[in-house]
Every structure is written in C-alpha cells, then in structure tokens.
Amino acid sequence: MKIRANQLAGSLRKQSSLLYWLAGDEILLLQEAADEVRKYWRDAGFTEREVYHAEQGFDWRDFLYALDSTSLFADRKLLELRLYGNKLDSAGREAIAGYIEKAADDFRLLISGPRLDSSTLSTKWFKQLEQDIVLVQIWPIDRSRLPAWLRQRLAAAGIAADDAALQVLTDRVEGNLLAARQEIEKLALLAGAKPGVEVQLTGNDVLRLVSDSSRYDVGKLADAALNGEIARAQRVLGGLRVEGVFPLLILAVLSRELRQLLDMLEKIGNGQDIGQAMSSSRVWQNRKPMVSRALNRLTADAVQHMLEQCKLIDHAVKGLRRANPWDELSQLTLRFSGYETATRQNLNSGRAVPARR
C-alpha cells in the first residue's frame, strides 16, 4: 500500500504493518517520519532496536541472521535498514522478501532511503512486496506549499508570523527544509520565544534578526573547532564579536554540534565504529572528515562538560550569572578545538597545549 507522509499517523493507528518503507529525498521529512514510526512501535513494546546500513559491500546475511536469533526471553525487536541508493541488488531483494515470509510478531522492520523511481516500483518483485507493506512516499515541499508549512512550524515554536515574514523566510530557505528548521530555531532563540507566550514577527523583524547570517561565519567557527584549528577558531570568534553577532546565536550552533558529537560518541561506546556512528547520525559526506577528527580527539566526558559550560554561558548572556560571555565562548572554543590553554605565541603560530582530561 502506498501512502503520503501526512497519512502515516492514521495508518499506524488503524493497522500497523510488519514493514514500513520510507522513501524520499527530503532529509528532514524522512527523519521525522522515521521518528514517528519508531515512537509508535516503541510504545507498542518493540523496545529493542538494531540498525543496518545497507551501503556498498553490505552483507545481507547479517540482516537475515537477526531474523533467526529470537529467544524466549528476548524483547520484541525493531529492525532498521538504512538504504543509500534507490535500487537493491538481488541479495537485498531476497532478504526483504525473506523477512516478509518469516517475520513473526516479535519483529517489525523500518526501511528508509532515497525516493524510489518508477522502474523500481513497477518491477514484479516490488508489486508482490507492496501487498504486505506500507510504502510512505515523502515528497518535497514545493514553493506554493512552503509558506503554510513554515507558518505551522513557526506556530509550534511560539511565533506568529505575518505574510511578509513568511515571504522572507520562503525566499531564504526554498528547497532546503533543514535550513528552514534551523532558521526557525534561530528566530525563536533571538526573538525570545517562551512556552505559552506567542511572539509576533513581521517581515522587518525577520530581516533584522537573520539578515545575511552567512557573512557572520558562525558555521566556519564550528568547522574550525571540529577540525581542531585553535588559532583559526579564535580568529573567527573574534570576527563574530566585531560583527556584533548575538552570543546566543554562536552558542546555539556550538551546542548543537556538541550534542551531535555526544550522541555519536555514545554510539561508538556501544560498539559502533566511527563510520557507522556518523552515518546513523546523518552527517553530511563533506563534513565527515572534520567530524571524524573531533570524534577521535574528544571523549564523551569532555563533551558533556562542554555542554554544561554551554548552560553557564547561556546564564551569563541572560544576566543570571556574572561572567563575560565572550570570554566564556573563547574558553569553550579552546576546549572544543581540543585544547585547554594556550599561550599567545601558540595562538599566533597555530600550535597549542593539549587539553588535560
């Protein structure tokens, strides 16, 4: 059965299938649909979860083995298959068909991957499979529907935006819903949105709050910190201060990177290798080298301490703690880059003193 993403909740409530296949190229909508399926099955008692990344060279026997590893005392299990192409080889097709044949009440399967083309959907194999699964086709939000989508997301963040504000946002984020989510988070942060209190924003407000944020190089600060480039990170931070960037905007970017690193470090601690941890966290290909360097350099404890420091900086910016937010951000950036202290000579030369952990 084929359904759209907005029909997913109803499908889960009415008749949950043994297999849900999420197919689409819009990463944000794909992630949110997967979260919805996971939550439903977790609440239904499928508390154990195994994730398989069907990349090039993937051994489908590992997946089939999971189907034969049931135990009288095992929890019910959710299996996830992450596909990285829109076509399956014969081994993959046989493995999925094998799941349908032998799946018991102890298993549910969630497949997520790119949009399936018409040639795949019209194959005999898929037409037979379609009778026993739910295929969720996730389509991009086109420009005509984007303002309504943005209005709904802004309302959920406690923001009421007028038509001019929606137009500004539509122009900035068209074709990139991940960027849209980031802009909404930024607006909520900068506008001071609070639970139960709606903030009114006009087009001029949006332009003032998020105008040309790319020139501030906040992303470059995060990249330099991930790469362990202490001198560059400090120079970028200084430039942001001169530009008059609001410190909480910088803090939001750094803390988001740190939370993602902590999640990956915990996965590594549970047995995943770095490549698997980055893939399961949806790290973009062009960012994997710098994220990998940070994962090799930092520990989960160190990242947790930095997140605690982020809370203190937040309090300093809001006047709840007596401290200079820029000095605190400088110290945080030093630690994020992998170093605790550095002399002026070290900074000028690009060398630094290793952190004591």
Each of the 357 residues of the chain gets a pLDDT tens digit; together they read 899 888 998 989 887 788 999 999 888 899 999 999 999 999 988 888 889 998 888 889 888 887 776 554 556 889 999 998 878 888 999 899 888 887 667 889 999 999 888 888 888 889 888 888 999 999 888 888 999 999 999 999 999 999 999 988 887 777 778 878 888 888 888 787 777 778 898 988 888 776 444 344 688 899 999 999 998 899 889 888 877 788 888 998 999 999 999 999 999 999 999 999 998 888 888 889 999 999 999 999 999 999 999 999 989 888 888 889 999 999 999 999 987 643 333 434 444 444 443
Distance of CA 90 to the CA centre of its chain: 31
Instruction: Name, in order, each residue with C-beta under 8 angstroms of 332's C-beta and a sequence gap of 6 or more.
Output: 254, 306, 309, 310, 313
Q: Residue for token digits 């605190």?
A: 328
Residue 339, SS3 per DSSP: strand
Burial class (CB in 10 A: 0-12, 13-18, 19+), 356: exposed
Give the Cα separation of 234 and 143 in Å (integer): 39
What per-residue confidence (pLDDT) applies to 41?
92
Cβ-contact 314, 249 below 8 angstroms: no
Q: Does residue 22 contact residue 51 with C-beta atoms inside 8 Å?
A: no
Distance CA 286, CA 298 (A): 20
Cβ-contact 350, 230 below 8 angstroms:
yes
Nearest CA-CA partner of 77 in 99, 53, 54, 101: 99
Nearest to 276 by CA among 78, 49, 53, 113: 53
Tokens at residue 220, please? 């470059």
Two tokens, residue 38: 């996971």
For each of the domains in the chain, give its residue range(s) and CATH number, in order of start: 2-138 (3.40.50.300), 146-211 (1.10.8.60), 216-349 (1.20.272.10)
Cβ within 8 Å of residue 38, ≥6 positions away:
49, 78, 110
The pLDDT, as a whole number, for residue 330 is 95
Please report the pLDDT score of residue 218 as a whole number: 83
Between CA 238 and CA 246, with CA 240 as vertex, the angle to 5 degrees is: 125
DSSP state for residue 86 in the 8-state scheme? S
According to DSSP, the β-strands at 159-161 and 199-201 are: parallel
Q: Which residue has the tokens 């980031």?
A: 182
Instruction: Check residue 347 and give its pLDDT.
Output: 39
- CB atoms near residue 280 (< 10 Å): 16
Evaluate whether 85 touches 114 at the Cβ level (below 8 Å): yes
pLDDT of 337 reads 93
Residue 348 pLDDT: 41
Report the alpha-carbon distance of residue 330 to residue 332 in Å, rounded: 5
d(CA 68, CA 99): 10
Distance of alpha carbon 23 from alpha carbon 171, whole angstroms: 27
Is the distance from CB of 73 to CB of 104 less than 8 angstroms?
no
pLDDT at site 340:
60
* Per-residue confidence (pLDDT) for residue 343, from 0 to 100: 39
d(CA 298, CA 278): 15
Q: Are 66 and 50 in contact (CB under 8 A)?
A: yes
Phi, psi of 101 (to 5 degrees): -70, -40
Q: Is 85 helix (H, G, I), strand (E, B) or coil?
A: coil
Per DSSP, the three-state class of 207 is: helix
Give, for 175, the enclosing helix (H) or strand (E): none
Residue 261 main-chain phi, psi, to 5 deg: -65, -40
Handedness of CA 346, 243, 200, 180 (dihedral sign): negative
